[in-house]
Each structure stands twice: as structure tokens, then as C-alpha cells.
């Protein structure tokens, strides 16, 4: 298969983890006889430094003709003081919006080899964690208008608008129901319908959409309860469907309870190409450039890309198997290191996965 991919390394550890991901892609292409066409472009702080904006037009143009986008991470203290309109994060929000990537899939999986790294009690972890957060990504309070700051009676006020249309709710709900069908057929929709009008519409439309998926079990939780249930008994969840802001918060929580933030991939997709794949973790400026980063989340994002953008399940499984293999042999980067294991750097971890393929 011919695959057109745009690689956006971004900032911090983004560059070094992306080198490892590209090695893995190249090896898969070799092994399975695919042909990769890869371009590189700037996003985030790296783009601000060179072009003055976090998401240059060239980047959008280069990504436009592609099947998939692979992104490292954006941001760092260097750009924290900038005007909020040109901060690195704007690059990320901009690319989501530019390609209408409304459904963000964030799996949180406990790797049995890394059980000891979980922050939860062993009796909770023993029940397993294997859930998928489906987060709405291009609407809600992140993009709602009006937004801004103004002076009223001589005092400063700032405001955002949490808003959803029924179409926006329905299309992301469908993604969750479809995903559940390929898993354990359960969707838990998370909202704040006891307080917010926008959540009442959310719940109404999710219930309506669910009628077309009678084989999927639907439940609802208020977001505060959901946050609590995630640490009390994460094994109860299969697919969690939620809005942009709640999904931002709950997906970090879901990731950290697995104990392996450095291991988790994500996919952001719309109705057409390109979809975007990125690790869940950030740019980790404190360890950037020191060969300490864990490249596995990005490598597993490549696996998600093969599965979702190219329907190449065998290739995806080969990558997931290779990662498992390397962990089973006891190799760990610093973030997932425990006693008795062999600590390796980012580059060596990448090489080990390539060898395991
Ligand atoms: C995420 C991040 C982003 C978000 C930031 C960096 C804009 O936290 O992808 O979860 O809030 O969506
Ligand atoms: Mg976040």
C-alpha cells in the first residue's frame, strides 16, 4: 500500500520520540511491502520560532493531501510568556479544527508487565484497566463563542461558552457506539446534566442515538461521580463518551491510573482524511534532548494509525506485539523503571522495538 504521512515532531521530547516512531514505520513498510511517503512540517513552539505562528499555512497545506498525521508534542516554558493567540497549544487546537477531527480516542490500558507502576491499590488494579475515552474534540467550551475578557463597571470579567449542537453530539456518540461494538459493547456517557443545559441536550441526543445501537449497553454518569469511579473501580468502564473539557480532564486521570503515561497513544479523527495520531503525554521539556524519553506511546500511536487510517490490523498487531515483547524482556525507560529491570534510553528503546519486529 502507498501511504502518505505528515510527521509533525513539535517541541521538547517530540523530536526524539518521533525519530523512533519513524524507524518503526520504516521497518513495518519493509516487512509488509508498503511504500511510505513521509513529509515533515512545523507545529507549536518550533513553528513560532521559525515562522512566528504555531500553525503555519504551509503545515496545513502539507497535511491536507495526506492519509494521516503523526504528531509528537507541543509546548514548553520558552513560549509560556507569549500572547495567548500565538501559544504553541493554539497549533494543536488549530490543526484539530482545520481537519474537523471531532472524535478523540484515548485508550487507557494497563500493561500487565507495568502493574506495579499503577498508583492504585493492587486489589483494584488486579481487576484490570482497559477502557477507551471518546472525547469530543472540536466544539464545546474550547471553541464556543462568545469568549473573551471585558470591563464591566470598571471590573474585569472573562468568559467562555460551553455549547453543543445536536449534530455535534450525535456524530461523536456514533463513534463511541461503533467503538464499543468492537470492544465490550458498553458506553458510559459522562455529563453534568444535573446543572448544565448543554449537558441536558448532550444526554438527550446520546439516548436518541443509542436507539440505533440496541446491542450496546448505555449508562450515564455525572462528571464528578465519573472522576471518582475511575479511581474507585476503573474495571467497570469500557467506552467513556464525553465532551471536550470533561474528556480532557478524565483522559488524564484514566491515563495516570494505569501508571504509564509514557505508554499511551491516541487518535483524533473526522469523517475524512487525514486523521491525527499522537502520544497522550506532553513535550516534557525537563528531559528533552537527553535520550530519556519513552518513545512507546508514539510507537503505539503508529500502530493505531495502521489500524484506523489504513485498516492494516496485522501491521498494528505486529507493533503492539513487539512493544509487549520488549517489556517482557525487562527493558524500561526511566518513567516506567522498577527494580530488577534494565533501564534504556529513548534511542535504544526504539531499536529494541525494531529488532522485536
Ligand atoms: C490534550 C491537551 C490539550 C487540550 C492542550 C495542550 C491544548 O491537554 O490534548 O489533552 O487541552 O486538549
Ligand atoms: Mg489534556
206-225: pLDDT as tens digits: 999 999 999 999 999 999 99
Instruction: Tell me how far apart the alpha carbons of residues 342 and 334 are, in angstroms, rounded to a whole number.
Output: 10
Domain boundaries, the chain: 1-106+264-357, 119-257
Q: Is the pLDDT of residue 338 over 90?
A: no
Count of residues for the chain? 357
The predicted pLDDT at position 86 comes to 87
Quickly state the pLDDT bin for 286 (edges 50, 70, 90). very high
How many A from CA of 91 to the centre of ligand 2? 14
Q: Report how far residue 69's alpha carbon sits from residue 305's, in angstroms, rounded to the nearest whole number.
A: 9
Which pLDDT band holds residue 43 (cuts at 50, 70, 90)?
very high
Q: State the average pLDDT for the chain.
A: 96
Fold equal for 1-106+264-357 and 119-257: yes
Question: Alpha helices of 182-242 — where are they, by DSSP H?
Answer: 197-210, 223-232
C-alpha cell at 19: 525519530
Identify the burial level of 313 via C-beta atoms within 10 angstroms of its C-beta, where 0-12 means exposed, 13-18 middle and 19 or more buried: exposed
Closest residue by CA, ligand 1 atom 6 = 89
> Which ligand neighbours the alpha carbon of 253 most closely?
2
Ligand nearest to the CA of 243: 1
Cα 252 to ligand 2 centre (Å): 6
Compute the distance between CA of residue 34 and CA of residue 29 in angstroms, rounded to an integer.
4
278 close to ligand 1 (CB < 6 Angstrom)? no
Q: Which three cell numbers stand for residue 303?
A: 500502530
Q: What is the DSSP string of 235-279?
A: GG-SEEEE-HHHHHHHHHHHHHHTT-GGG-EEEEE-SSSPEEEEE
Asked whether residue 251 carries a pLDDT value surpassing 90, the answer given is yes
Please report the pLDDT score of residue 112 as a whole number.
87
Whole-angstrom distance, CA of residue 196 vs CA of residue 48: 37
Residue 156 class from Cβ within 10 Å (0-12 exposed, 13-18 middle, 19+ buried)? exposed
Q: What is the pLDDT of residues 47-76, one digit of tens each?
A: 999 999 999 999 999 999 999 999 999 999
CATH number given to 119-257: 3.40.718.10
Report whether residue 136 contacts ligand 1, using a CB cutoff of 6 Å. no
Which of 66, 90, 115, 192 is catalytic? The answer is 192
Decide if pLDDT at 259 tops 90.
no
Question: Which CATH architecture fits 1-106+264-357?
Answer: 3-Layer(aba) Sandwich (3.40)
| Concatenated DSSP letters of 113-147 | GGGGG-SS-HHHHTT--EEEEEEE-SSGGGT-SS-
The residues pairing with 7 across neighbouring beta strands, listed in sequence order, are 40, 70
pLDDT at 140 over 90: yes
156 is catalytic: no
Indicate if 11 belongs to the active site.
no
C-alpha 63/C-alpha 71 separation (Å) is: 11
* Model confidence pLDDT, tens digit, residues 141-189: 999 999 999 999 999 999 999 999 999 999 999 999 999 999 999 999 9
Amino acid at each position: 500500500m502507498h501511504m502518505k504521512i505528515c510527521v509533525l515532531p513539535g517541541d521538547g521530547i517530540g523530536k526524539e520520540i518521533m525519530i523512533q516512531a519513524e524507524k518503526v514505520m520504516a521497518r513495518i513498510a519493509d516487512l509488509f511491502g508498503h511504500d511510505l511517503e513521509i513529509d515533515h512540517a512545523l507545529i507549536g513552539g518550533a513553528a513560532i520560532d521559525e515562522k512566528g505562528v504555531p500553525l503555519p499555512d504551509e503545515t496545513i497545506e502539507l497535511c491536507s493531501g495526506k492519509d494521516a498525521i503523526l504528531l509528537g508534542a507541543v509546548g514548553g516554558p520558552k513560549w509560556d510568556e507569549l500572547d495567548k493567540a500565538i501559544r504553541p497549544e493554539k497549533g494543536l487546537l488549530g490543526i484539530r479544527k482545520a481537519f474537523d477531527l471531532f472524535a478523540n480516542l484515548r485508550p487507557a490500558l494497563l500493561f500487565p508487565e507495568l502493574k506495579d507502576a499503577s498508583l492504585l491499590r493492587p486489589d483494584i488494579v488486579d481487576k484490570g484497566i482497559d477502557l477507551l475515552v471518546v472525547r469530543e474534540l472540536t466544539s464545546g467550551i474550547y471553541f464556543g463563542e462568545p469568549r473573551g475578557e471585558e470591563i464591566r463597571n470598571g471590573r474585569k470579567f472573562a468568559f467562555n461558552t460551553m455549547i453543543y449542537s445536536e449534530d455535534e453530539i450525535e456524530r461523536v456518540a456514533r463513534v463511541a457506539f461503533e467503538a464499543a461494538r468492537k470492544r465490550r459493547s458498553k458506553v458510559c456517557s459522562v455529563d453534568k446534566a444535573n446543572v448544565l443545559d448543554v449537558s441536558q441536550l448532550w444526554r438527550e441526543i446520546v439516548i436518541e442515538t443509542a436507539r440505533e445501537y440496541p446491542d450496546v449497553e448505555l449508562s450515564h454518569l455525572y462528571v464528578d461521580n465519573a472522576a471518582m469511579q475511575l479511581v474507585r473501580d476503573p474495571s467497570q468502564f469500557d467506552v467513556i463518551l464525553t465532551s471536550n473539557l470533561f474528556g480532557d480532564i478524565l483522559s488524564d486521570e484514566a491515563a495516570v491510573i494505569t501508571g504509564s503515561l509514557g505508554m499511551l497513544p491516541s487518535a483524533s479523527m473526522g469523517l475524512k482524511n487525514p486523521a491525527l495520531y499522537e502520544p497522550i503525554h506532553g513535550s516534557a521539556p525537563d528531559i528533552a534532548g537527553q535520550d530519556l524519553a519513552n518513545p512507546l506511546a508514539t510507537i503505539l500511536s503508529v500502530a493505531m494509525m495502521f489500524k484506523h487510517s489504513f485498516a492494516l490490523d496485522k501491521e498494528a498487531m505486529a507493533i503492539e506485539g513487539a512493544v509487549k515483547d520488549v517489556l517482557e524482556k525487562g527493558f524500561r525507560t526511566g518513567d516506567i523503571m522498577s527494580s530488577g529491570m534494565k533501564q534504556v534510553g529513548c534511542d535504544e528503546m526504539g531499536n529494541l522495538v525494531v529488532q522485536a519486529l
